[in-house]
Structure 1
Amino acid sequence: MTTQRPGPRLDRRGFLKLGAAAGLAVTTAPALSGCSFLDQRESIDTVGDIDFSNPLHIPPLAESSRRDGTTVFELTAQAGRSAIVPAGEADTWGLNGSLLGPTLRARRGESVEINVTNDLDESTTLHWHGMHLPAAADGGPHQMIEPGDTWSPSWRIDQPAATLWYHPHPHGETERHVYRGLGGLFIIDDDDEAGLDLPRTYGVDDIPVIVQDKTFDADGRLQETSRQDNGMIGGTILVNGTAGPVFDVTAQRTRLRLLNASTARSYSFGFEDREFAMIGSDGGLLREPATLDRILLTPGERAEIVVELEPGEEVTLRSYPQDLGLSSGRTRSTGAGDTLDVLLLRAEDDLDPSPDLPAELVSVERLDESDATETREFELRNNRINGESMEMDRIDDVVTVDTTEVWEVWNGHRQPHNFHVHDVQFQVLSVDGDDPPAQLSGWKDTIYLPPDVRFRLIMRFTEYTDPSVPYMYHCHLLWHEDEGMMGQFVVVEPGEEAGSVGSGHEHDH
């Protein structure tokens, strides 16, 4: 595949500095309308203005049963009412509840089946973001679940311990379905992670932190705002569905599993007066902890961090401004100039001791570029990839199983975009020719693309083949995805050709 090379690129050192020290801030202003939107919106600072009075909701671990050696989960997509802000209740969607869903948890080597029942009044899907699995179980736009139906994908977990997540993926409607509240974490455990001295008591010193932005009206009802160019920018920051959240810390060190589950907004997470240790990225643990003061997470990205507190301390998780390589107007419109309080960590007077973090975590096998059999190029521009808008019946790329490929990806646009690949975790070979910063050194499935900065990604496609059921790659700013910034690939046996897309539209009842 060949595409037009981008024009002049931003200075790569600027991006590497950005990646090492800063992230994208979150804003709480409702989106404005009109052609002068970029000039009208001002940056926001909510430091000290948030009333952190609501205990942080911890999503429950999903119950499961065992059948014929398989772990079986039950999820039901449903509508409900949620009291999120003091003004009143909102109409929301959730899994096994009115907002968000339980945390799924399974071990490497375990076979799982997930029965997903749709009790909504419209079709939806559930995609297992970051998971290596058969294309027919992926939960993308070809696995629609009609109202009243149940879809039952199954697969064997075969990837390292990681913080993954699940969310809907209906073509053209993904942003709206995620915004209404469908989604949750999917944690994978393995023996390597279990052998390390890390905080791991779920809900005690190992905390899910699902960050989203919403807009509510004067009666507390959830509102969809104008998309403008980038998607909805919400007016309130929620963590696990909680506004103004506070978590009472009981241990010296606390592990935060950060997920940017917003549909359009990115975050630069950090604390005012301390560094933290990043121990994991999208696809699992790093080789060693990385000491940072900011971590950039664009929509869909995850990071595991460990923060240390003293008895009686109060520390605020915050989102800070940064330069994403955008114009000043675009910076304001996307919230990249904002400073926002997100979550209050309140340490008790007596804290349980925690062991020092290990100096080394896990072995991360580096993929060898000399093994790559194919190099592909992808330009994101004008809600298209390589000039093509998404078509459900078109296969864009055909990949041979058990091969390694290099994908060169760049944003040829002046808007923010990121890039997510289904089924595989990739490694970053270079950022405009330079080595990636520490936080991009592990396994990734989603990555931010500043305008005109070229990323070389390496990935290996294994195990699952299907010539007629595709996986997706797309921008995870969900309005861009809905507008067509998405492509499809199939993984085939050696010498096999792609089939006609069709069988993937079906699902089990």
Structure 2
Amino acid sequence: MTTAPPSIPLPTPRRRRNAVGPVVLLGATLLTAAAVFTACTIGPGFSDSSVFQPKAPPAFDTPLPIPPLADSRVDGGTRVFSLTADEGQMEFTPGMTTPTWGFNGDYLGPTLRARRGEKVAVEVTNKLPETTTVHWHGMHLPVAMDGGPHQPIEPDAQWRASWRVDQPAATLWYHPHPHGDTEEHVLRGLSGMFIVDDENTGTYGLPAQYGVDDIPLVVQDKKFTAGGEFQLDAQGNEVGLLGNVILTNGAWGSVLDVTTELVRLRILNGSSARTYDFAFDDGREFSLVGTDGGLLEAPHSTDHVRLSPGERAEIVVGLEPGSETMLRSLPPDLGNVALPSAYGGTDEFDVLLLRAADALQPSASLADRFAPVERFAERDADYERTFEVQNREINGLRMDMNRIDEVMQIDSTELWTVTNRDLFPHNWHVHDVQFQVLDIDGTPPPAELLGWKDTIYLEPRRQYRIMMRFEDYVDDDKPYMIHCHLLLHEDEGLMSQFVVSKSEPSRNTEPSDGGGGHGTH
């Protein structure tokens, strides 16, 4: 089938500030990784005098900032939010002022919150000196409202996105998505959470008092120049920028004063490149209750959870009166990565201190099971596709704003086989849909991957089969995105475009031999 052109070609994006050199080829991976080792690790080898070097770990005595719930108004049956992207400044460390960008404030943005079935609108005003966009990561919505690179907001302009929320309760987020400049805009501070509620919100014994026992955590690593500005250059590190300061909701060394027996943490990996493995310093177990697209079918008891950039996890942890525990990131298992230390695979650091009051309010018991998650089966697939990720290419092609790479048929279920051919990390994010992991190298997924996902870490040389359904929204001209959410990779071309059409699928598809019903979301 002939590929459909996008409706309105956009200008070629400007060159990224401090852009790195040519893309590293697979054969040069080990050499490049070794060359940048001292520039990208937190450990003792770090010696660049132009970069801010913390003299000691933070004291973890700064109260955790809680992003405010965004104000809204109801206009003609639509809940309307307003966001303004603007410049600001913050003192992340004493005596050092950093120029920042934020939504409705100096850094990050408020938490948007809406209920399934509500019609919402977000009016975004751009007061920045550059064109930006706002993408609703994880949201099922019409492509014209997606906020990807085809919905630019010029300086001093306003963009209004409106849609009906139609998906289960979940922890989603929003961030810029300008082609070629996403990493820089996110690093400067433009991110926020978008929480979706549904008929099950407040049930199952899940903590639900926002800012009290239901806590959003935006975790980001940063690197500063000696003068206090954000460093935006990855300094040749193939995976992107790895910072030596960890911010939680914009604070370095923060503490959460816990007043209830159970606490729900909605953790977002808001970093541009770093993969975390979240755990507690005393090894305590906690309940993983939700992933990107909503609740699991049942709580999963574990002592750690790995999150690559863009992924979310909802966990519930219990504390005893008068006790404390440190949320930290252990060295993440990156899979068969060449020289893991060059990609943060040996890094370990504290993230947030949880400090319990001497007397705690009782919490309801967590339910043994939540709402059922109807699983896709291979026989449900109407079509199959194969994607290979290597260097900055998907199936041998770099991103082209004027090219449609795939055409998906409305009301169809697809099975994708996705393989990372490199020996360094990638991950995989699909706009508009939530997907399920069918298997990894033919093996059923672990418990933490049994829920709905929109982003997944791709270990090197492994094959992931995922399934999703395309429904509700048709547009033959405007494309959604598929891309690596390691933002340097995305900016340098590891992204492709697809449309959802009434037409037969095109390009990389094969009809499935299976048949039968479809999973529902």
TM-score (norm 1): 0.88
Cα displacement string for residues 367-424 of structure 1 (whole angstroms, at most 9, x for unaligned residues): 2322211100111101110110000010000001000000110100011000000000
Provide closer, same or farther for how the CA distance between residues 390 and 149 of structure 1 changes in structure 2, counting only shifts above 3 A. same
The corresponding residue for 1:27 is: none
Cα displacement string for residues 448-469 of structure 1 (whole angstroms, at most 9, x for unaligned residues): 1111110100000010000000
The corresponding residue for 1:401 is: 410
The corresponding residue for 1:67 is: 75
Please say if 1:216 is aligned against 2:218.
no
The corresponding residue for 1:271 is: 280
Q: Is the 8 A contact 2:41 2:244 kept in 1?
A: no
Aligned AA (1:239): T
Please say if 1:338 is aligned against 2:361.
no
Equivalent of 1:368 in 363, 377, 388: 377
Unaligned runs of 5+ residues in structure 2 are: 2-31, 45-53, 508-521
Report the Cα distance in structure 2 between the residues aligned to 1:41 and 1:108, rounded to whole angstroms: 42
Please say if 1:467 is aligned against 2:466.
no
RMSD: 1.9
The corresponding residue for 1:321 is: 331
Report the Cα distance in structure 1 between the residues aligned to 2:253 and 2:81, rounded to whole angstroms: 31
Could you say what secondary structure the match of 2:448 adopts?
helix
Aligned AA (2:224): F
Equivalent of 2:307 in 294, 297, 315: 297
Q: Is the 8 A contact 1:400 1:494 kept in 2?
A: yes
The corresponding residue for 1:44 is: 43
Greater shift after overlay, 60-69 or 48-57? 48-57
The corresponding residue for 2:118 is: 110
Structure 1 residue 334 displacement after superposition: 1.4
Please say if 1:244 is aligned against 2:253.
yes
After superposition, residues 409-428 of structure 1 pair within 5 angstroms as 409-428=418-437
When the two structures are aligned, how many residues end up with a matched partner?
Answer: 465
Structure 1 residue 219 displacement after superposition: 3.8
Q: Is the 8 A contact 1:254 1:308 kept in 2?
A: yes
Report the Cα distance in structure 1 between the residues aligned to 2:34 and 2:408, rounded to whole angstroms: 42
Report the Cα distance in structure 1 between the residues aligned to 2:338 and 2:362, rounded to whole angstroms: 46
After superposition, residues 27-176 of structure 1 pair within 5 angstroms as 36-38=35-37, 44=43, 49-176=57-184
Report the Cα distance in structure 1 between the residues aligned to 2:194 and 2:38, rounded to whole angstroms: 40
The corresponding residue for 2:321 is: 311
Structure 1 residue 497 displacement after superposition: 8.5
The corresponding residue for 2:518 is: none
Provide closer, same or farther for how the CA distance between residues 266 and 496 of structure 1 changes in structure 2, counting only shifts above 3 A. closer
Provide closer, same or farther for how the CA distance between residues 55 and 302 of structure 1 changes in structure 2, counting only shifts above 3 A. same
Aligned AA (2:355): R
Provide closer, same or farther for how the CA distance between residues 496 and 346 of structure 1 changes in structure 2, counting only shifts above 3 A. closer
Q: Is the 8 A contact 2:408 2:504 kept in 1?
A: no
Please say if 1:482 is aligned against 2:491.
yes
Structure 1 residue 221 displacement after superposition: 2.7
The corresponding residue for 1:228 is: 237
Could you say what secondary structure the match of 2:201 adopts?
helix
Report the Cα distance in structure 1 between the residues aligned to 2:188 and 2:306, rounded to whole angstroms: 24
Q: Is the 8 A contact 1:260 1:301 kept in 2?
A: yes
After superposition, residues 195-210 of structure 1 pair within 5 angstroms as 195-210=203-218
Structure 1 residue 355 displacement after superposition: 1.4
The corresponding residue for 1:285 is: 295
Q: Is the 8 A contact 1:87 1:220 kept in 2?
A: no
Q: Is the 8 A contact 2:187 2:230 kept in 1?
A: no
Q: Is the 8 A contact 1:80 1:99 kept in 2?
A: yes
Report the Cα distance in structure 2 between the residues aligned to 1:68 and 1:155, rounded to whole angstroms: 14
Equivalent of 1:257 in 250, 263, 266: 266
The corresponding residue for 2:22 is: none
Could you say what secondary structure the match of 1:429 adopts?
strand
Report the Cα distance in structure 2 between the residues aligned to 1:344 and 1:257, rounded to whole angstroms: 15
Report the Cα distance in structure 2 between the residues aligned to 1:144 and 1:179, rounded to whole angstroms: 19
Aligned AA (2:130): E
The corresponding residue for 1:6 is: none
The corresponding residue for 1:429 is: 438
Report the Cα distance in structure 1 between the residues aligned to 2:39 and 2:194, rounded to whole angstroms: 39
Q: Is the 8 A contact 1:140 1:170 kept in 2?
A: yes
Structure 1 residue 34 displacement after superposition: 9.5
Report the Cα distance in structure 2 between the residues aligned to 1:392 and 1:41, rounded to whole angstroms: 31
Q: Is the 8 A contact 2:128 2:155 kept in 1?
A: yes
Aligned AA (2:308): T
Cα displacement string for residues 286-329 of structure 1 (whole angstroms, at most 9, x for unaligned residues): 00000011100000000000010001111000000133124463
Report the Cα distance in structure 1 between the residues aligned to 2:170 and 2:195, rounded to whole angstroms: 6
Report the Cα distance in structure 2 between the residues aligned to 1:245 and 1:177, rounded to whole angstroms: 24
